[in-house]
Structures are given as C-alpha cells and as structure tokens.
Amino acid sequence: MAKCSVCGKPAVYVAKYEGKAYCADHFLKWFDKRVRKTIRKYRMFGPKEHIVVAVSGGKDSLAALHYMSRLSKRVPGWTVEALLIDEGIEGYRPITIRDFKRWAEEWGVSYRIVSFKEEIGASLDEIIKLGLEKGLPYQPCTYCGVFRRYLLNKAAREMDATVLVTGHNLDDEVQTFMMNILRHDMDRMSRLGPTTDAGTEYFVRRAKIFYEIPEKEIVIYSMLHGFFPEFVECPYARLGFRWDVRHYINLLEERYPGIKYNILKSALDVSQAVRKTRPPQHPQLCKICGEPSKGPVCRACELRIMLGLLEKPDWFELPKK
Ligand code: SF4
Ligand code: ZN
C-alpha cells in the first residue's frame, strides 16, 4: 500500500503526475493549498463579493459550494448563495435536487432554483420531443447548454451576484478545449479560461475555482468531507461528443501522467491568442427578451421560436440551416 509522502501514514490518493501520495489529512491540506493558489493566481475575487455558486447537485458543483461556503466565513466582505437550474430531466434531476437541498441547508447556504419549465416554457425532456416533432436534429446537450447558460446569467444577475462560481474542473476544461479544436470552434475557444473578463451590467463575471484540479481529486475531497452525492448520470450524457473526448483523454492520462496539465497550458495559450484576434464585441440586447445577445435576437429566443415555444415576430427571419 502506498504511504503518504509527507507523514508516512497509509495514503488515500496517489498523484501519479506528481509522483507523490497523500493520507487523508495531507490530501485535504494539499487540495486546499492548490485551490487557494488558483484563486490568487487568476485574481478571482476582490475584498467585497456577493458570490453565487452555480450548483447542479453533482459532486463538482457541490464541492465548489462546500469550499466557498467555508472560505467565505473567513472573509468578512464575502457572502455566498447557491443557484440551481432545473432542466427537467426525469430520473436524474429530482435526485440531484434532493441532494443539493439537503447539503445547502446543512451548510446554511440560501439558494434559488430556476426551472426550464417556468422560464423557457417546457422541461428539457419536453423540448427534446418538441424538437423531433419540428424536424430539428436530436441535440439534447445543445438545448440544455443554451438555455442553462441563459438562465444562469439572468438569475445570477437578479440575485445581485458580483461573481458566478462554477464547479468546472481540469478535466472539463481540457475536454472543452479538445472539443473546440476538433470542431474548429474558435468562438468558443476565445471564451475558455479560469475567469471571464470583468462583469458588465448584463454579464455576471465567472470564476472556476477548480480550474487546475482533476475530477478524481474532487471526488476524494467530497468523500473525505462526507457529502459524496448519489451517483446518477444524465440519460443524455453518453450521446454527447464530450463523452468520447473524455474517454480518449483519460486513456492518454493513464499512459502519460500529467498530459492533462499540458493540454490545459495549451488551452490557456491558444484561447488568449484567439482572443487577441477578435476585438471584444459589445453585446446588444435581444429585441425579444432584453437579455444580452450577439445578434438582434439571442440564441435562447431563436431556439424557443424554432421549438414553437415563442411566437415568431414578423420582422424576424429564422437562420437557414
Ligand atoms: Fe444537459 Fe447534456 Fe449535461 Fe445532460 S449531459 S445535463 S443534457 S448538457
Ligand atoms: Zn432573447
């Protein structure tokens, strides 16, 4: 059995990429040190912040809420709230909402739950059916991603958030980078990174406190703190492109420990280089809903029109695809 590289007690985790092992106590200290370093390195927070943590009920975002709720107790100018988007995915979301409520209440964090059904007009399960009826491609994760990002920004702004913390980890970031390369999506590439630029009155600034932390280590953090949520997987997850990309990157990491960190460094360099070639766009406001948008109508309203959840204004032409 591996021994802790610091004290020699039985190890709970071996960090192959570092050639070190850690017992429970030293793992938690090492974890904390690295998250703090990430926060400092990318200047994630100022002395006064109203931090809203975006929680899905899964381990990463629950760990982010746990971490921030504890850290904020030591910083007098910080307050923390949680925000959960209920997409409406049967057999999956109700379980994660149950876990989320239980832990948020135990940690004394107030929260808001916003649902697709109320805000968009249909649950994700219904949206997928509507899409098929309208002859649109089968794309659960696209609908989910567009509407979730839309609602996260809108709800966080309504909660007066100065920053929106998400549970994205090293694995998520590396997968997104590879997906952008494979799809040649330079628009999304330019938005990668540990934080977004300073917030505006329309956009709430984002921060990923686990940007440099592998997924596996967040699992151990949650288990050692006793809040590992029940494992449930979104029924649409295996249909997504991300699933395959994740599988191949994990294979590479097994064979070449540390490769994820190399990809992360490339991701940071490439996204910064791409950003320089694209002058910052001043967001317009969607003519239908008033939310920030790249064009006269935001992507969420465009999708709602295509799905028949919103009436098409006469002046608006749907994009031809
Ligand atoms: Fe949404 Fe796709 Fe993630 Fe499921 S796997 S929660 S549909 S983005
Ligand atoms: Zn809109």
Q: What is the residue-wise DSSP string for 258-270?
A: THHHHHHHHHHHH
Site of tokens 């910083």: 75
Q: Quick: pLDDT tens for 100-110.
A: 999 999 999 99
Residue 271, pLDDT > 60, answer yes
Cα 46 to Cα 59: distance, rounded to the nearest angstrom: 26
The residue whose CA has the least distance to atom 5 of ligand 1 is: 237
Buried b / exposed e across 237-261, counting CB within 10 Å, b at 16+? Answer: eeebebeebbeebeeebeeeeebbb
Task: Look at ligand 1, atom 2, and give the residue with the nearest C-alpha.
Answer: 141
Which atom belonging to ligand 1 lies closest to the Cα atom of 141? 2
- Interacting residues of 184 by C-beta distance below 8 A, sequence separation 6+: none
Q: Is residue 77 situated within a structural domain? A: yes
pLDDT tens digits, one per residue of 209-230: 999 999 999 999 999 999 877 7
Mean pLDDT calculated for residue range 284-290 = 93
* Residue 53 within any structural domain of the chain: yes
Q: Are residues 9 and 74 in the same domain?
A: no
Mark whether 84 and 155 lie in a shared domain: yes
Which ligand has an atom closest to residue 292 CA?
2
| Pocket perturbation via mutation, ligand 1, pick of 97, 144, 233, 238 by most ligand atoms within 8 A of CB | 144
Q: What is the pLDDT of residue 167?
A: 95
pLDDT band at 164 (very low <50, low <70, confident <90, very high): very high
Ligand 2 centroid – CA 116 distance (Å):
14
Q: pTM of the predicted model, to two decimals?
A: 0.92
The number of the ligand 1 atom at minimal distance from the alpha carbon of 237 is 5
Quote the ligand 2 centre to 151 CA distance (angstroms): 11
pLDDT given at position 87? 96
Q: Are residues 159 and 61 in the same domain?
A: yes
Are 62 and 207 found together in one domain? yes
C-alpha dihedral sign at 202, 203, 205, 206:
positive
Indicate whether 33 and 51 sit together in one domain.
no
Pocket residues for ligand 1 (CB within 6 Å)?
A: 140-141, 144-145, 234, 236-237, 240
Flag whether pLDDT at 159 surpasses 60.
Answer: yes
pLDDT band per the 50, 70, 90 thresholds, residue 278: confident
- 66-102: burial string, b at 16+ Cβ within 10 Å, e else: bbbbebbeeeeebbbbbbbbbbbbeebbeebbebbee
What is the domain range of residue 2? 1-41
The verdict on residue 267 lying in a domain is yes
Q: What's residue 228's pLDDT?
A: 76
Distance CA 40, CA 135 (A): 48
d(CA 114, CA 119): 7
32 and 177 inside one domain:
no
pLDDT band at 320 (very low <50, low <70, confident <90, very high): low
Q: Is residue 19 part of a domain?
A: yes
pLDDT at residue 58 tops 90? no
The CATH number of the domain holding residue 229 is 3.40.50.620
On whether both 2 and 90 belong to a single domain, the answer is no
295 part of a folded domain: no
Q: Which atom of ligand 1 is found nearest the CA of 234? A: 4
Give me the mean pLDDT over the 14-36 stretch: 96
pLDDT at 181 over 80: yes
Does 263 lie in the same domain as 160? yes
Q: What is the mean pLDDT of residues 266-271?
A: 94
pLDDT of residue 41: 96
C-alpha torsion angle, residues 54, 128, 229, 213 (rounded to 10): -50
Question: 238: CA distance to ligand 1 center in Å?
Answer: 9
3-state class of 130 per DSSP? Answer: helix
Number of domains in the chain: 2
Helix residue ranges, H only, the chain: 24-41, 59-72, 93-106, 116-119, 124-133, 140-158, 170-183, 186-189, 215-224, 241-255, 259-277, 299-307
Check whether residue 16 and residue 92 sit in a common domain.
Answer: no
Residue 197 in any domain: the answer is yes
- Inside any domain, residue 231: yes
Statement to judge: residues 36 and 61 lie in one domain: no
Sign of CA pseudo-dihedral 188, 190, 195, 197: negative
pLDDT score at 315: 87
Residues 128 and 157 in one domain: yes
Q: Does a structural domain hold residue 302?
A: no
